[in-house]
């Protein structure tokens, strides 16, 4: 070995032997082969999946039965002892599908042959996709239902197939509740269990006190009231109820609803008592959050109040609970008790105000991912 070889070896190590070079070449070839043989996988995009409660696929008995069975079998929704509840559920499913089918038929979108919740949620998804183009061209927006179709797992898989390796899931419930928001998360993580390569997931935080949401509610309420040919003496903010026991176990839902109501009244500049919080949609004999909407409308009419309006701030889109339960059933209770004028103000839906609030929430939750 001469002096120059000694200097080179000191600096870089000895030259590889022919065998070593052959081994390195074989290893490189193996790496290349594995890379080229790996199944194709798109990546680099961001997905946004908005999720609402759900709707049956039809108003017939069997469509309603499938939907109600899935919904009422969720242990987040009904926290009764499992074996006992499943027995009770079989009894409920004998008659309830027929009655609820009649209710759904009264609000059904016959042109599309679907529930209005599905029509509106699809429109929200389409409009959100257009609004987010200015944030990034690499965002795909989709929608799903917690119960019924389209399923959360299917739409997560579809977003992943489009190259979304980061996905924001937005439960369309401004106020957090285990029976709504949490059960969406449950289904998302169930889907992740089946994936070899899981996308990174974010679950949007509730937005019950978000300024954009409160401002949208205030504008929507003012506009809705301005379209009436009477002035309500009282306006109710009716939220979907939950059993009192869920509150006692630590669910923050009541507190979120109360804060939404307080902030909305302040934004509207209304005096105390003009906007009253109530809870609707009781199910079963147990105690639920009070005051009840149906009892309140009767009591108001009996006390001499002749004109009321009802808003439903906890619903992102009109559905059976707003269109039929409030707009028909509770209107009937009010009139039967002596009331004269009743109005159900539409939800935010895919209106300009509704989309502004939803877009603000999504842009906030995409922080660090886009924009």
Residues belonging to the binding site for Fe(2+) are 240, 321
Q: Which residue has the tokens 């193996």?
A: 30
Residue list, annotated binding site:
240, 321
Closest CA to 239 of 304, 289, 287, 189: 289
H helices within 73-81, ranges in order? none
For the chain, report the end-to-end CA distance as a whole number of angstroms.
Answer: 61
Q: Which residue has the tokens 């301005």?
A: 226
Q: What are phi and psi of 302, to 5 degrees?
A: -65, -30
Cβ count within 10 A of residue 80: 14
Do 297 and 339 meet the contact criterion of CB atoms below 8 Å apart?
A: yes
Residue 300: both structure tokens together: 């108001």
Closest CA to 347 of 184, 229, 223, 210: 223
């Amino acid at each position: 070995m001469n002096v120059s070889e000694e200097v080179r070896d000191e600096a870089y190590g000895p030259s590889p032997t022919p065998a070593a070079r052959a081994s390195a070449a074989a290893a490189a070839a193996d790496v290349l082969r594995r890379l080229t043989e790996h199944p194709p996988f798109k990546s680099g995009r961001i997905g946004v999946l908005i999720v609402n409660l759900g709707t049956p696929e039809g108003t017939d008995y069997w469509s309603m039965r499938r939907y109600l069975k899935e919904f009422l079998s969720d242990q987040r929704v009904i926290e009764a002892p499992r074996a006992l509840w499943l027995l009770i559920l079989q009894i409920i499913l004998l008659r309830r599908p027929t009655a609820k089918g009649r209710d759904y038929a009264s609000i059904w979108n016959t042109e599309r042959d679907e529930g209005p919740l599905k029509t509106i949620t699809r429109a929200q998804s389409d409009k959100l996709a257009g609004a987010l183009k200015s944030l990034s061209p690499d965002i795909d927006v989709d929608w799903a239902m917690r119960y019924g179709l389209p399923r959360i797992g299917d739409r997560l898989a579809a977003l992943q197939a489009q190259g979304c390796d980061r996905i924001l899931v937005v439960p369309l419930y401004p106020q957090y509740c285990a029976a709504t928001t949490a059960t969406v998360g449950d289904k998302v993580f169930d889907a992740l269990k089946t994936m070899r390569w899981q996308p990174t997931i974010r679950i949007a935080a509730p937005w019950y006190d978000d300024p954009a949401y409160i401002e949208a509610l205030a504008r929507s309420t003012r506009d809705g009231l301005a379209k009436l040919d009477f002035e309500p003496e009282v306006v109710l903010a009716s939220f979907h109820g939950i059993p009192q026991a869920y509150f006692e176990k630590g669910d923050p839902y009541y507190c979120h609803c109360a804060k939404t109501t307080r902030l909305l009244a302040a934004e509207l500049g209304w005096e105390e008592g003009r906007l009253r919080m109530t809870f609707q949609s009781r199910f079963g004999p147990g105690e639920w959050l009070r005051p009840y909407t149906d009892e309140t409308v009767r009591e108001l009419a009996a006390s001499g109040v002749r004109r009321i309006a009802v808003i439903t701030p906890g619903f992102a889109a009109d559905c059976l609970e707003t269109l039929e339960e409030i707009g028909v059933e509770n209107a009937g209770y009010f009139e039967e008790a002596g009331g004269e004028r009743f109005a159900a103000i539409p939800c935010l839906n895919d209106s300009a105000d509704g989309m502004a609030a939803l877009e603000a929430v999504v842009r906030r939750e995409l922080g660090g991912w886009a924009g």
